[in-house]
Structure 1
Protein backbone atom coordinates (compact mmCIF):
# COMPACT_ATOMS: atom_id res chain seq x y z
CA UNK A 1 0.00 0.00 0.00
CA UNK A 2 1.19 3.53 -0.77
CA UNK A 3 1.65 5.73 2.27
CA UNK A 4 -1.55 7.66 3.08
CA UNK A 5 -1.79 11.40 2.68
CA UNK A 6 -3.49 11.52 6.08
CA UNK A 7 -5.32 9.26 8.56
CA UNK A 8 -8.96 9.56 9.64
CA UNK A 9 -9.89 8.27 13.11
CA UNK A 10 -13.26 7.67 14.78
CA UNK A 11 -12.46 6.95 18.44
CA UNK A 12 -15.43 6.03 20.58
CA UNK A 13 -15.90 4.74 24.10
CA UNK A 14 -15.53 1.07 23.15
CA UNK A 15 -13.85 1.00 19.70
CA UNK A 16 -11.11 2.68 17.70
CA UNK A 17 -11.47 2.82 13.90
CA UNK A 18 -8.93 4.29 11.47
CA UNK A 19 -8.76 4.80 7.72
CA UNK A 20 -5.68 5.53 5.59
CA UNK A 21 -6.83 8.37 3.30
CA UNK A 22 -5.59 9.40 -0.13
CA UNK A 23 -5.11 13.05 -1.08
CA UNK A 24 -8.47 13.08 -2.87
CA UNK A 25 -10.35 11.88 0.21
CA UNK A 26 -10.67 8.17 -0.59
CA UNK A 27 -10.00 5.48 2.04
CA UNK A 28 -7.29 3.11 0.80
CA UNK A 29 -7.09 0.94 3.92
CA UNK A 30 -8.85 0.60 7.25
CA UNK A 31 -8.27 -0.99 10.63
CA UNK A 32 -10.01 -1.19 13.98
CA UNK A 33 -9.45 -2.37 17.51
CA UNK A 34 -11.25 -2.58 20.84
CA UNK A 35 -8.98 0.08 22.35
CA UNK A 36 -11.80 2.51 23.03
CA UNK A 37 -11.58 5.59 25.22
CA UNK A 38 -13.34 3.85 28.10
CA UNK A 39 -10.46 1.48 28.74
CA UNK A 40 -7.49 3.82 28.27
CA UNK A 41 -5.52 6.12 30.55
CA UNK A 42 -4.40 9.41 28.93
CA UNK A 43 -0.86 8.11 28.34
CA UNK A 44 -2.18 4.95 26.61
CA UNK A 45 -3.86 6.71 23.67
CA UNK A 46 -0.76 7.25 21.59
CA UNK A 47 0.45 3.63 21.93
CA UNK A 48 -3.05 2.36 21.06
CA UNK A 49 -3.13 4.52 17.93
CA UNK A 50 0.40 3.57 16.84
CA UNK A 51 -0.37 -0.12 17.32
CA UNK A 52 -3.18 0.25 14.80
CA UNK A 53 -1.76 2.66 12.20
CA UNK A 54 1.99 2.18 12.62
CA UNK A 55 2.35 0.13 9.40
CA UNK A 56 0.90 3.05 7.41
CA UNK A 57 3.40 5.64 8.65
CA UNK A 58 6.34 6.98 6.68
CA UNK A 59 9.48 7.31 8.84
CA UNK A 60 10.60 10.30 6.78
CA UNK A 61 7.49 12.49 6.98
CA UNK A 62 4.82 13.65 9.42
CA UNK A 63 1.41 12.13 8.67
CA UNK A 64 -1.58 14.23 9.79
CA UNK A 65 -4.15 12.34 11.88
CA UNK A 66 -7.63 13.83 12.33
CA UNK A 67 -9.76 12.21 15.04
CA UNK A 68 -13.31 12.64 16.28
CA UNK A 69 -15.31 11.12 19.12
CA UNK A 70 -14.67 10.43 22.78
CA UNK A 71 -10.91 10.72 22.30
CA UNK A 72 -11.51 14.43 22.90
CA UNK A 73 -13.54 13.98 26.10
CA UNK A 74 -12.33 15.14 29.48
CA UNK A 75 -11.33 11.53 30.21
CA UNK A 76 -9.73 11.11 26.76
CA UNK A 77 -6.31 11.82 25.29
CA UNK A 78 -6.80 15.56 25.69
CA UNK A 79 -10.00 17.54 26.13
CA UNK A 80 -11.23 19.27 22.99
CA UNK A 81 -13.47 21.99 24.39
CA UNK A 82 -17.09 22.01 23.26
CA UNK A 83 -18.34 24.60 20.78
CA UNK A 84 -21.71 26.09 21.71
CA UNK A 85 -24.64 25.89 19.29
CA UNK A 86 -25.87 27.50 17.14
CA UNK A 87 -22.74 27.00 15.06
CA UNK A 88 -21.50 24.96 12.09
CA UNK A 89 -20.98 21.31 13.06
CA UNK A 90 -17.22 21.73 12.52
CA UNK A 91 -15.08 24.76 13.06
CA UNK A 92 -11.60 25.86 14.05
CA UNK A 93 -9.63 25.46 16.10
CA UNK A 94 -9.11 21.72 16.29
CA UNK A 95 -7.22 20.56 19.40
CA UNK A 96 -3.68 19.22 18.99
CA UNK A 97 -3.00 16.03 20.95
CA UNK A 98 0.38 15.72 22.72
CA UNK A 99 1.87 13.00 20.50
CA UNK A 100 5.55 12.20 21.08
CA UNK A 101 6.12 10.14 17.93
CA UNK A 102 7.53 12.50 15.26
CA UNK A 103 5.73 10.58 12.49
CA UNK A 104 2.26 11.82 13.48
CA UNK A 105 0.51 15.13 14.15
CA UNK A 106 -2.88 14.46 15.76
CA UNK A 107 -5.76 16.94 15.65
CA UNK A 108 -9.03 16.29 17.53
CA UNK A 109 -12.44 17.59 16.48
CA UNK A 110 -14.30 19.37 19.31
CA UNK A 111 -17.82 18.32 20.25
CA UNK A 112 -20.89 20.54 20.50
CA UNK A 113 -22.72 21.81 23.58
CA UNK A 114 -26.10 23.35 24.29
CA UNK A 115 -27.05 25.30 27.41
CA UNK A 116 -30.70 26.11 26.61
CA UNK A 117 -33.49 25.08 26.52
CA UNK A 118 -31.82 22.08 28.16
CA UNK A 119 -28.18 21.19 28.76
CA UNK A 120 -26.80 18.72 26.24
CA UNK A 121 -23.52 17.65 24.64
CA UNK A 122 -22.33 15.53 21.73
CA UNK A 123 -18.97 14.14 20.61
CA UNK A 124 -18.50 12.39 17.29
CA UNK A 125 -22.02 13.00 16.01
CA UNK A 126 -21.09 16.56 14.97
CA UNK A 127 -18.67 15.03 12.46
CA UNK A 128 -21.43 12.85 11.00
CA UNK A 129 -23.71 15.89 10.72
CA UNK A 130 -20.90 17.67 8.87
CA UNK A 131 -20.69 14.65 6.56
CA UNK A 132 -24.41 14.92 5.77
CA UNK A 133 -23.94 18.61 4.94
CA UNK A 134 -20.86 17.89 2.82
CA UNK A 135 -23.14 16.10 0.35
CA UNK A 136 -25.90 18.77 0.57
CA UNK A 137 -24.49 22.12 1.82
CA UNK A 138 -27.80 23.99 1.48
CA UNK A 139 -29.94 21.32 3.13
CA UNK A 140 -32.19 22.25 6.05
CA UNK A 141 -33.79 19.59 8.20
CA UNK A 142 -33.18 17.22 11.09
CA UNK A 143 -30.46 14.59 11.44
CA UNK A 144 -31.36 11.56 13.56
CA UNK A 145 -28.34 9.66 14.90
CA UNK A 146 -29.45 6.39 16.54
CA UNK A 147 -27.12 4.75 19.02
CA UNK A 148 -26.50 4.12 22.70
CA UNK A 149 -27.42 7.76 23.23
CA UNK A 150 -29.44 8.78 20.18
CA UNK A 151 -29.35 12.39 18.97
CA UNK A 152 -31.75 14.63 17.05
CA UNK A 153 -29.99 17.65 15.53
CA UNK A 154 -31.81 20.53 13.86
CA UNK A 155 -29.77 21.91 10.96
CA UNK A 156 -30.40 25.21 9.18
CA UNK A 157 -28.22 27.49 7.04
CA UNK A 158 -25.23 25.19 7.56
CA UNK A 159 -25.45 25.30 11.36
CA UNK A 160 -26.59 22.99 14.12
CA UNK A 161 -29.32 25.12 15.68
CA UNK A 162 -30.32 22.78 18.51
CA UNK A 163 -30.13 19.13 19.46
CA UNK A 164 -31.48 16.63 21.95
CA UNK A 165 -30.04 13.37 23.28
CA UNK A 166 -31.97 10.30 24.46
CA UNK A 167 -30.60 7.33 26.44
CA UNK A 168 -32.86 4.94 24.53
CA UNK A 169 -30.18 2.50 23.41
CA UNK A 170 -28.57 2.27 26.84
CA UNK A 171 -31.98 1.76 28.45
CA UNK A 172 -32.82 -1.06 26.03
CA UNK A 173 -29.49 -2.78 26.71
CA UNK A 174 -29.95 -2.64 30.48
CA UNK A 175 -33.65 -3.48 30.58
CA UNK A 176 -33.23 -6.48 28.27
CA UNK A 177 -30.13 -7.91 29.97
CA UNK A 178 -29.88 -6.50 33.50
CA UNK A 179 -33.41 -5.84 34.78
CA UNK A 180 -36.21 -8.20 35.80
CA UNK A 181 -37.39 -8.09 32.17
CA UNK A 182 -34.36 -10.14 31.10
CA UNK A 183 -36.09 -13.34 32.23
CA UNK A 184 -38.54 -13.08 29.33
CA UNK A 185 -36.11 -11.95 26.60
CA UNK A 186 -33.70 -14.81 25.99
CA UNK A 187 -32.51 -15.42 22.44
CA UNK A 188 -32.26 -13.12 19.44
CA UNK A 189 -35.64 -13.45 17.72
CA UNK A 190 -37.78 -10.55 16.59
CA UNK A 191 -41.47 -9.81 16.00
CA UNK A 192 -42.16 -6.83 13.74
CA UNK A 193 -45.83 -6.57 14.70
CA UNK A 194 -44.87 -6.46 18.39
CA UNK A 195 -42.37 -3.69 17.60
CA UNK A 196 -45.03 -1.68 15.74
CA UNK A 197 -47.43 -2.14 18.65
CA UNK A 198 -44.80 -0.93 21.09
CA UNK A 199 -44.08 2.17 18.98
CA UNK A 200 -47.79 2.99 18.88
CA UNK A 201 -48.17 2.54 22.64
CA UNK A 202 -45.04 4.57 23.40
CA UNK A 203 -46.13 7.45 21.17
CA UNK A 204 -49.75 7.56 22.27
CA UNK A 205 -49.16 7.36 26.04
CA UNK A 206 -45.50 8.07 26.85
CA UNK A 207 -46.41 8.84 30.46
CA UNK A 208 -47.31 5.15 30.88
CA UNK A 209 -43.86 3.91 29.89
CA UNK A 210 -42.72 2.46 33.22
CA UNK A 211 -46.06 0.71 33.75
CA UNK A 212 -46.04 -0.76 30.24
CA UNK A 213 -42.50 -2.00 30.80
CA UNK A 214 -43.62 -4.13 33.73
CA UNK A 215 -46.54 -5.39 31.68
CA UNK A 216 -43.96 -7.20 29.53
CA UNK A 217 -42.89 -9.21 32.58
CA UNK A 218 -46.46 -9.88 33.68
CA UNK A 219 -47.55 -11.03 30.21
CA UNK A 220 -44.59 -13.39 30.09
CA UNK A 221 -45.67 -14.98 33.37
CA UNK A 222 -49.42 -15.02 32.84
CA UNK A 223 -49.91 -15.28 29.08
CA UNK A 224 -46.66 -16.79 27.83
CA UNK A 225 -45.52 -13.72 25.87
CA UNK A 226 -42.77 -15.09 23.59
CA UNK A 227 -39.25 -13.66 24.08
CA UNK A 228 -39.04 -12.35 20.50
CA UNK A 229 -42.30 -10.42 20.93
CA UNK A 230 -41.24 -9.13 24.37
CA UNK A 231 -37.88 -7.90 23.06
CA UNK A 232 -39.41 -6.24 20.01
CA UNK A 233 -42.17 -4.57 22.03
CA UNK A 234 -39.60 -3.26 24.52
CA UNK A 235 -37.66 -1.69 21.65
CA UNK A 236 -40.85 -0.23 20.19
CA UNK A 237 -41.96 1.22 23.53
CA UNK A 238 -38.64 2.97 24.06
CA UNK A 239 -38.31 4.28 20.49
CA UNK A 240 -41.97 5.34 20.44
CA UNK A 241 -41.53 7.26 23.69
CA UNK A 242 -38.43 8.92 22.22
CA UNK A 243 -40.35 9.91 19.08
CA UNK A 244 -43.11 11.40 21.22
CA UNK A 245 -40.57 13.54 23.08
CA UNK A 246 -38.73 14.47 19.86
CA UNK A 247 -41.89 15.34 17.92
CA UNK A 248 -40.91 19.00 17.60
CA UNK A 249 -37.74 17.94 15.75
CA UNK A 250 -39.21 15.57 13.15
CA UNK A 251 -42.85 16.60 12.64
CA UNK A 252 -43.20 18.13 9.18
CA UNK A 253 -39.43 18.14 8.67
CA UNK A 254 -37.04 16.54 6.21
CA UNK A 255 -35.29 13.84 8.24
CA UNK A 256 -31.98 12.08 7.57
CA UNK A 257 -31.08 9.01 9.63
CA UNK A 258 -27.35 8.33 9.92
CA UNK A 259 -26.87 4.57 9.94
CA UNK A 260 -27.55 1.55 7.79
CA UNK A 261 -27.91 -1.29 10.30
CA UNK A 262 -30.80 -2.80 12.21
CA UNK A 263 -31.19 0.07 14.66
CA UNK A 264 -31.34 2.74 11.95
CA UNK A 265 -33.90 0.60 10.15
CA UNK A 266 -36.09 0.48 13.25
CA UNK A 267 -36.07 4.27 13.52
CA UNK A 268 -36.95 4.53 9.83
CA UNK A 269 -39.81 2.05 10.31
CA UNK A 270 -41.14 3.92 13.36
CA UNK A 271 -41.01 7.25 11.53
CA UNK A 272 -42.64 5.77 8.45
CA UNK A 273 -45.62 4.82 10.62
CA UNK A 274 -45.94 8.55 11.43
CA UNK A 275 -45.88 9.52 7.76
CA UNK A 276 -42.18 10.53 7.70
CA UNK A 277 -40.13 9.01 4.87
CA UNK A 278 -36.66 9.50 6.34
CA UNK A 279 -33.60 9.21 4.12
CA UNK A 280 -30.76 7.01 5.40
CA UNK A 281 -27.05 7.81 5.07
CA UNK A 282 -24.40 5.20 5.90
CA UNK A 283 -22.62 6.07 9.16
CA UNK A 284 -19.17 5.36 7.75
CA UNK A 285 -19.82 7.56 4.71
CA UNK A 286 -20.96 10.38 6.98
CA UNK A 287 -18.02 10.19 9.37
CA UNK A 288 -15.44 10.00 6.56
CA UNK A 289 -16.99 12.97 4.74
CA UNK A 290 -17.00 14.91 8.01
CA UNK A 291 -13.41 13.99 8.86
CA UNK A 292 -12.35 15.03 5.35
CA UNK A 293 -13.85 18.44 6.01
CA UNK A 294 -12.11 18.54 9.41
CA UNK A 295 -8.84 17.69 7.68
CA UNK A 296 -9.27 20.76 5.48
CA UNK A 297 -9.85 22.88 8.59
CA UNK A 298 -6.78 21.42 10.31
CA UNK A 299 -4.73 22.26 7.22
CA UNK A 300 -6.07 25.81 7.20
CA UNK A 301 -8.04 25.40 3.95
Structure 2
Protein backbone atom coordinates (compact mmCIF):
# COMPACT_ATOMS: atom_id res chain seq x y z
CA UNK A 1 0.00 0.00 0.00
CA UNK A 2 1.43 3.43 -0.89
CA UNK A 3 2.64 5.94 1.66
CA UNK A 4 1.21 7.49 3.79
CA UNK A 5 -0.92 4.35 4.27
CA UNK A 6 0.98 1.43 5.75
CA UNK A 7 0.93 -1.99 4.08
CA UNK A 8 -1.67 -4.40 5.44
CA UNK A 9 -3.21 -1.79 7.74
CA UNK A 10 -6.93 -1.28 7.03
CA UNK A 11 -8.30 2.04 5.86
CA UNK A 12 -11.28 3.24 7.89
CA UNK A 13 -12.13 6.48 6.13
CA UNK A 14 -14.71 9.21 6.57
CA UNK A 15 -15.77 11.54 3.75
CA UNK A 16 -17.33 14.96 4.20
CA UNK A 17 -16.48 16.44 0.81
CA UNK A 18 -20.04 17.11 -0.37
CA UNK A 19 -20.74 20.67 -1.49
CA UNK A 20 -23.83 22.46 -2.74
CA UNK A 21 -26.13 19.46 -2.32
CA UNK A 22 -25.26 19.05 1.35
CA UNK A 23 -25.51 22.81 1.88
CA UNK A 24 -29.09 22.79 0.57
CA UNK A 25 -30.11 19.90 2.83
CA UNK A 26 -28.58 21.58 5.88
CA UNK A 27 -30.28 24.89 5.04
CA UNK A 28 -33.63 23.13 4.81
CA UNK A 29 -33.04 21.42 8.16
CA UNK A 30 -32.06 24.70 9.83
CA UNK A 31 -34.99 26.64 8.42
CA UNK A 32 -35.22 30.14 9.88
CA UNK A 33 -32.05 29.51 11.90
CA UNK A 34 -29.93 28.92 8.79
CA UNK A 35 -26.59 30.76 8.65
CA UNK A 36 -24.09 31.30 5.88
CA UNK A 37 -21.44 29.31 7.73
CA UNK A 38 -23.63 26.27 8.53
CA UNK A 39 -21.95 23.99 5.99
CA UNK A 40 -18.49 24.77 7.31
CA UNK A 41 -19.66 24.30 10.91
CA UNK A 42 -21.23 20.95 10.07
CA UNK A 43 -18.06 19.76 8.36
CA UNK A 44 -15.87 20.97 11.22
CA UNK A 45 -17.91 18.96 13.72
CA UNK A 46 -17.58 15.83 11.59
CA UNK A 47 -13.82 16.37 11.32
CA UNK A 48 -13.33 17.01 15.03
CA UNK A 49 -15.45 14.08 16.21
CA UNK A 50 -14.64 11.42 13.60
CA UNK A 51 -10.94 11.99 12.91
CA UNK A 52 -9.72 10.58 16.26
CA UNK A 53 -11.20 7.20 15.26
CA UNK A 54 -10.82 7.27 11.47
CA UNK A 55 -7.55 6.40 9.78
CA UNK A 56 -8.19 9.01 7.06
CA UNK A 57 -10.71 11.79 6.49
CA UNK A 58 -11.68 13.44 3.21
CA UNK A 59 -12.61 17.12 2.94
CA UNK A 60 -13.49 19.29 -0.06
CA UNK A 61 -11.40 21.83 -1.92
CA UNK A 62 -13.42 24.84 -0.72
CA UNK A 63 -13.45 24.31 3.05
CA UNK A 64 -10.75 21.68 3.30
CA UNK A 65 -7.74 23.95 3.81
CA UNK A 66 -9.51 25.55 6.80
CA UNK A 67 -10.63 22.16 8.16
CA UNK A 68 -7.28 20.36 7.98
CA UNK A 69 -5.99 21.86 11.27
CA UNK A 70 -9.02 20.42 13.09
CA UNK A 71 -8.06 16.82 12.30
CA UNK A 72 -6.64 14.51 14.92
CA UNK A 73 -2.88 13.98 14.45
CA UNK A 74 -3.42 10.23 14.03
CA UNK A 75 -5.73 10.74 11.02
CA UNK A 76 -4.32 11.04 7.48
CA UNK A 77 -5.78 14.13 5.74
CA UNK A 78 -7.28 13.66 2.29
CA UNK A 79 -8.30 16.58 0.08
CA UNK A 80 -10.70 16.40 -2.89
CA UNK A 81 -9.52 17.88 -6.18
CA UNK A 82 -12.94 18.91 -7.52
CA UNK A 83 -14.89 22.13 -7.72
CA UNK A 84 -18.10 20.44 -6.50
CA UNK A 85 -19.10 16.82 -7.12
CA UNK A 86 -22.67 18.01 -7.75
CA UNK A 87 -21.59 20.40 -10.52
CA UNK A 88 -20.49 18.40 -13.53
CA UNK A 89 -19.23 20.40 -16.50
CA UNK A 90 -21.57 19.04 -19.20
CA UNK A 91 -23.64 16.08 -20.36
CA UNK A 92 -20.42 14.14 -20.81
CA UNK A 93 -20.16 14.11 -17.00
CA UNK A 94 -16.65 15.46 -16.72
CA UNK A 95 -15.75 16.71 -13.26
CA UNK A 96 -14.88 20.39 -12.95
CA UNK A 97 -11.50 21.06 -11.35
CA UNK A 98 -11.26 23.65 -8.55
CA UNK A 99 -10.33 27.25 -9.36
CA UNK A 100 -8.79 27.81 -5.93
CA UNK A 101 -6.48 24.82 -5.66
CA UNK A 102 -3.71 23.12 -7.62
CA UNK A 103 -2.12 19.71 -7.18
CA UNK A 104 1.16 21.47 -6.49
CA UNK A 105 -0.30 23.06 -3.34
CA UNK A 106 -1.12 19.76 -1.62
CA UNK A 107 2.23 19.24 0.14
CA UNK A 108 2.29 22.76 1.59
CA UNK A 109 -1.30 22.37 2.82
CA UNK A 110 -0.39 19.21 4.69
CA UNK A 111 -2.63 16.99 2.56
CA UNK A 112 -0.66 13.88 1.55
CA UNK A 113 -3.59 12.28 -0.31
CA UNK A 114 -5.55 13.67 -3.29
CA UNK A 115 -8.95 12.26 -4.18
CA UNK A 116 -10.48 12.78 -7.62
CA UNK A 117 -14.01 11.76 -8.58
CA UNK A 118 -15.19 11.06 -12.13
CA UNK A 119 -18.31 9.55 -13.66
CA UNK A 120 -17.18 6.76 -15.95
CA UNK A 121 -19.24 4.83 -18.48
CA UNK A 122 -17.30 1.83 -19.82
CA UNK A 123 -19.75 1.68 -22.74
CA UNK A 124 -19.45 5.37 -23.62
CA UNK A 125 -17.91 6.42 -26.95
CA UNK A 126 -14.15 5.84 -27.15
CA UNK A 127 -13.49 9.53 -27.89
CA UNK A 128 -15.22 10.64 -24.71
CA UNK A 129 -13.48 8.06 -22.57
CA UNK A 130 -10.13 9.05 -24.05
CA UNK A 131 -10.74 12.59 -22.74
CA UNK A 132 -11.46 11.14 -19.32
CA UNK A 133 -8.40 8.88 -19.45
CA UNK A 134 -6.24 11.88 -20.39
CA UNK A 135 -7.62 13.91 -17.48
CA UNK A 136 -6.96 11.15 -14.95
CA UNK A 137 -3.47 10.57 -16.38
CA UNK A 138 -2.66 14.26 -16.07
CA UNK A 139 -3.69 14.35 -12.42
CA UNK A 140 -1.74 11.16 -11.74
CA UNK A 141 1.40 12.62 -13.32
CA UNK A 142 1.12 15.76 -11.22
CA UNK A 143 0.52 13.76 -8.03
CA UNK A 144 3.55 11.59 -8.67
CA UNK A 145 5.70 14.66 -9.28
CA UNK A 146 4.66 16.08 -5.89
CA UNK A 147 4.92 12.81 -3.98
CA UNK A 148 1.17 12.97 -3.32
CA UNK A 149 -0.87 9.76 -3.02
CA UNK A 150 -3.57 9.60 -5.70
CA UNK A 151 -6.92 8.07 -4.75
CA UNK A 152 -9.24 7.83 -7.73
CA UNK A 153 -13.01 7.33 -7.51
CA UNK A 154 -14.72 6.17 -10.72
CA UNK A 155 -18.52 6.15 -10.38
CA UNK A 156 -19.91 3.94 -13.11
CA UNK A 157 -23.01 4.43 -15.23
CA UNK A 158 -24.55 3.27 -18.49
CA UNK A 159 -26.43 5.68 -20.73
CA UNK A 160 -28.81 2.92 -21.82
CA UNK A 161 -30.18 2.57 -18.27
CA UNK A 162 -30.87 5.94 -16.66
CA UNK A 163 -32.31 4.65 -13.37
CA UNK A 164 -29.40 3.60 -11.19
CA UNK A 165 -31.81 2.16 -8.62
CA UNK A 166 -33.53 -0.18 -11.09
CA UNK A 167 -33.26 -3.96 -11.36
CA UNK A 168 -32.00 -3.55 -14.92
CA UNK A 169 -29.09 -1.42 -13.73
CA UNK A 170 -28.39 -3.75 -10.79
CA UNK A 171 -27.80 -6.56 -13.27
CA UNK A 172 -25.34 -4.41 -15.26
CA UNK A 173 -23.48 -2.99 -12.27
CA UNK A 174 -21.06 -5.87 -11.54
CA UNK A 175 -19.67 -5.73 -15.07
CA UNK A 176 -19.48 -1.92 -15.08
CA UNK A 177 -17.52 -1.83 -11.81
CA UNK A 178 -15.22 -4.65 -12.91
CA UNK A 179 -14.48 -2.96 -16.23
CA UNK A 180 -13.75 0.35 -14.53
CA UNK A 181 -11.29 -1.34 -12.20
CA UNK A 182 -9.65 -3.16 -15.12
CA UNK A 183 -9.26 0.11 -17.02
CA UNK A 184 -7.81 2.19 -14.21
CA UNK A 185 -5.35 -0.29 -12.70
CA UNK A 186 -3.22 0.55 -15.74
CA UNK A 187 0.03 1.97 -14.28
CA UNK A 188 -0.08 4.76 -16.87
CA UNK A 189 -2.54 6.61 -14.65
CA UNK A 190 -0.27 6.50 -11.58
CA UNK A 191 -3.27 5.80 -9.34
CA UNK A 192 -2.30 4.54 -5.90
CA UNK A 193 -5.71 3.57 -4.48
CA UNK A 194 -9.13 3.05 -6.06
CA UNK A 195 -12.32 4.07 -4.28
CA UNK A 196 -15.07 1.94 -5.80
CA UNK A 197 -18.70 1.02 -5.40
CA UNK A 198 -19.69 -2.31 -3.90
CA UNK A 199 -20.27 -4.12 -7.21
CA UNK A 200 -23.70 -5.52 -6.34
CA UNK A 201 -26.92 -3.82 -5.25
CA UNK A 202 -28.08 -5.77 -2.19
CA UNK A 203 -31.70 -4.76 -2.79
CA UNK A 204 -31.66 -7.24 -5.69
CA UNK A 205 -29.51 -9.99 -4.18
CA UNK A 206 -30.99 -13.23 -2.90
CA UNK A 207 -31.37 -13.08 0.87
CA UNK A 208 -31.26 -9.28 1.07
CA UNK A 209 -34.07 -7.95 -1.12
CA UNK A 210 -36.15 -8.77 -4.17
CA UNK A 211 -33.92 -11.40 -5.78
CA UNK A 212 -32.75 -10.69 -9.31
CA UNK A 213 -29.30 -12.15 -8.65
CA UNK A 214 -28.41 -15.29 -6.73
CA UNK A 215 -26.16 -15.00 -3.72
CA UNK A 216 -23.60 -17.18 -5.47
CA UNK A 217 -23.51 -14.87 -8.52
CA UNK A 218 -23.24 -11.81 -6.27
CA UNK A 219 -20.34 -13.37 -4.38
CA UNK A 220 -18.63 -14.15 -7.68
CA UNK A 221 -19.07 -10.53 -8.78
CA UNK A 222 -17.29 -9.32 -5.65
CA UNK A 223 -14.41 -11.73 -6.24
CA UNK A 224 -14.17 -10.74 -9.91
CA UNK A 225 -13.71 -7.08 -8.98
CA UNK A 226 -11.14 -7.96 -6.33
CA UNK A 227 -9.23 -10.07 -8.87
CA UNK A 228 -9.39 -7.26 -11.43
CA UNK A 229 -7.73 -4.90 -8.93
CA UNK A 230 -4.74 -7.21 -8.62
CA UNK A 231 -2.13 -5.61 -6.40
CA UNK A 232 -3.79 -2.20 -6.35
CA UNK A 233 -5.45 -1.40 -3.01
CA UNK A 234 -9.11 -0.40 -3.15
CA UNK A 235 -11.70 0.81 -0.68
CA UNK A 236 -15.48 0.58 -0.86
CA UNK A 237 -17.57 3.75 -0.80
CA UNK A 238 -20.96 3.96 0.90
CA UNK A 239 -22.75 5.56 -2.10
CA UNK A 240 -25.44 7.23 -0.01
CA UNK A 241 -26.94 4.05 1.48
CA UNK A 242 -27.99 3.82 5.12
CA UNK A 243 -25.56 2.82 7.83
CA UNK A 244 -27.28 -0.54 8.24
CA UNK A 245 -27.17 -1.30 4.52
CA UNK A 246 -23.53 -0.32 4.23
CA UNK A 247 -22.56 -2.59 7.11
CA UNK A 248 -24.46 -5.42 5.41
CA UNK A 249 -22.60 -4.70 2.19
CA UNK A 250 -19.20 -4.66 3.88
CA UNK A 251 -19.93 -7.94 5.64
CA UNK A 252 -21.11 -9.50 2.41
CA UNK A 253 -17.98 -8.42 0.54
CA UNK A 254 -15.77 -9.65 3.34
CA UNK A 255 -17.50 -13.05 3.46
CA UNK A 256 -17.23 -13.28 -0.33
CA UNK A 257 -13.44 -12.91 -0.13
CA UNK A 258 -13.37 -9.46 -1.66
CA UNK A 259 -9.90 -8.28 -0.65
CA UNK A 260 -10.63 -4.63 0.06
CA UNK A 261 -8.19 -2.41 1.93
CA UNK A 262 -11.09 -0.78 3.77
CA UNK A 263 -13.87 1.74 3.21
CA UNK A 264 -14.72 5.41 2.89
CA UNK A 265 -18.09 6.38 4.35
CA UNK A 266 -19.98 9.66 4.17
CA UNK A 267 -23.73 9.82 4.58
CA UNK A 268 -23.86 6.31 6.03
CA UNK A 269 -22.06 7.79 9.02
CA UNK A 270 -23.40 11.32 9.45
CA UNK A 271 -26.65 11.75 7.48
CA UNK A 272 -28.80 11.41 10.60
CA UNK A 273 -26.78 14.19 12.23
CA UNK A 274 -28.20 16.70 9.75
CA UNK A 275 -31.61 16.71 11.41
CA UNK A 276 -30.04 17.05 14.86
CA UNK A 277 -27.91 19.96 13.68
CA UNK A 278 -31.01 21.54 12.19
CA UNK A 279 -33.32 21.20 15.17
CA UNK A 280 -30.98 21.21 18.16
CA UNK A 281 -27.81 22.95 17.02
CA UNK A 282 -24.08 22.32 16.81
CA UNK A 283 -23.51 21.10 20.38
CA UNK A 284 -26.22 18.45 20.09
CA UNK A 285 -24.79 17.31 16.79
CA UNK A 286 -21.31 17.02 18.31
CA UNK A 287 -22.69 14.86 21.14
CA UNK A 288 -24.45 12.62 18.60
CA UNK A 289 -21.28 12.25 16.55
CA UNK A 290 -19.21 11.46 19.66
CA UNK A 291 -21.60 8.65 20.62
CA UNK A 292 -23.75 7.23 17.81
CA UNK A 293 -21.41 8.48 15.07
CA UNK A 294 -18.36 6.83 16.61
CA UNK A 295 -20.35 3.65 17.27
CA UNK A 296 -21.24 3.56 13.58
CA UNK A 297 -17.65 4.00 12.52
CA UNK A 298 -16.65 1.18 14.85
CA UNK A 299 -19.41 -1.00 13.40
CA UNK A 300 -18.21 -0.43 9.84
CA UNK A 301 -14.62 -1.14 10.85
CA UNK A 302 -15.64 -4.39 12.52
CA UNK A 303 -17.69 -5.42 9.47
CA UNK A 304 -14.69 -5.45 7.15
CA UNK A 305 -11.88 -6.27 9.58
TM-score by length of 2: 0.29
The structure with the largest helix share of the pair is 2
Larger radius of gyration, structure 1 or 2? 1
The structure with the largest strand share of the pair is 1
TM-score by length of 1: 0.30
